Amino acid sequence: MNRYCTFCRIVAHEEPADVLYEDDEVMVFRNRLRWVPVMLLSIPKAHMTQSEMWSGEIMPKVGAAATKAAQEHCPGGYRLISNSGYDGMQSQEHAHVHILGGIFLGEYA
């Protein structure tokens, strides 16, 4: 039995999402969280782990979609973040890259 995956349901158009880009393999949509003015997610449409995304052939496509969306929605600059595992504070098992911007993001740890 497959585990419930919000991102897979968004890909299947079974959950609502503000989709900004979609092709056969990649999707970019607005994150429901609003910690900064622009919070987007770039995901492979196929369910996979962060490690599988980063080491596989899909990463250039996820990265290109993330960069294009970031340039369009964050003209002053942006940050791409990819949390992995519990210690990295990954909250969704479905691989994804966060696109943050719309404000000066400051320094980070």
Provide the whole-model pTM: 0.90
pLDDT for res 1: 36
- Residue 54 placed within a domain: yes
Structural domain that includes position 31? 6-101
Q: Give the pLDDT of residue 7.
A: 96
Q: Provide φ and ψ at 104, rounded to 5°.
A: -65, 120
CATH value at residue 30: 3.30.428.10
Task: Compute the 3-state secondary structure of the chain and give helix, strand, coil in percent, each to the nearest 5.
Answer: 25, 25, 50
- CA dist 39 → 1, 3, 52, 55, 57 (Å): 31, 25, 23, 24, 25
What residues are annotated to the active site?
96
Taking only the tens of pLDDT, the chain with its 109 residues reads 357 899 999 999 999 999 999 999 999 999 988 889 999 999 999 999 999 999 999 999 999 999 999 999 999 999 999 987 777 777 888 999 999 999 888 887 5
pLDDT of residue 61: 98
Residue 106 lies in a domain: no
